[in-house]
């Protein structure tokens, strides 16, 4: 039987084209979401965190080959434990927003009250723009 522990959402932008945040440093993680979950009620070695998210980005004004990397980290900094990452090459023929969606799990999550999960984004081309929507869900559960 699965026990629900905690659920949090981080939503920076609810609608398409509702933000305009440039990625200003090439290949450097930029924090886009962070939540703290209470996993203390879980069973040791049987607790996991399921997560999903969506982020929309747009090519730089002068379109060039661009790879976007989204990473989910157990911790507060980009140097903490990466539990998931996904890379996508943006389509040069699309000048408007491009959606990156992902879902994954962190198995053997810590059974603590303040488990921090963070989402970082980085791009290989200067001037890549986060345009929205941006929404991220984190759900902690434990097997009994």
* Dihedral sign for Cα atoms in the order 131, 100, 97, 90: positive
Is the pTM for the entire model greater than 0.85?
yes
DSSP letter for 66, please: -
Residues in a beta bridge with 141: 4, 48
Q: d(Cα 125, Cα 7) in Å, to the nearest integer?
A: 34
Q: Is there a contact between 59 and 67 (Cβ–Cβ < 8 Å)?
A: no
Give me the torsion for CA of 34, 37, 55, 32, rounded to 10°.
Answer: 0
pLDDT (tens digit per residue) in 81-112:
999 999 999 999 998 999 999 999 999 999 99
**pLDDT tens for each residue of 45-69:** 999 999 999 999 999 888 899 999 9
Could you give the C-alpha distances from 61 to 10, 65, 69, in angstroms and in order? 28, 12, 19
Radius of gyration of the chain (CA): 16
Q: What is the pLDDT of residues 5-54, one digit of tens each?
A: 999 999 999 999 999 999 999 999 999 999 999 999 999 999 999 999 99
């Amino acid at each position: 039987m699965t026990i629900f522990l905690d659920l949090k959402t981080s939503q920076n932008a609810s609608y398409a084209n509702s933000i305009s945040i440039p990625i200003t440093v090439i290949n450097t993680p930029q924090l886009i979401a962070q939540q703290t979950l209470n996993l203390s009620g879980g069973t040791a070695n049987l607790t996991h965190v399921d997560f999903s998210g969506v982020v929309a980005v747009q090519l730089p004004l002068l379109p060039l080959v661009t790879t976007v990397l989204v990473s989910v980290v157990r911790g507060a900094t980009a140097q903490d434990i990466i539990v998931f990452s996904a890379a996508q090459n943006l389509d040069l023929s699309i000048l408007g927003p491009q959606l990156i969606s992902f879902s994954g799990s962190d198995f053997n999550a810590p059974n603590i009250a303040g488990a921090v999960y963070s989402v970082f984004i980085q791009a290989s081309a200067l001037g890549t723009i986060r345009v929205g929507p941006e929404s991220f869900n984190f759900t902690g559960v434990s097997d009994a």
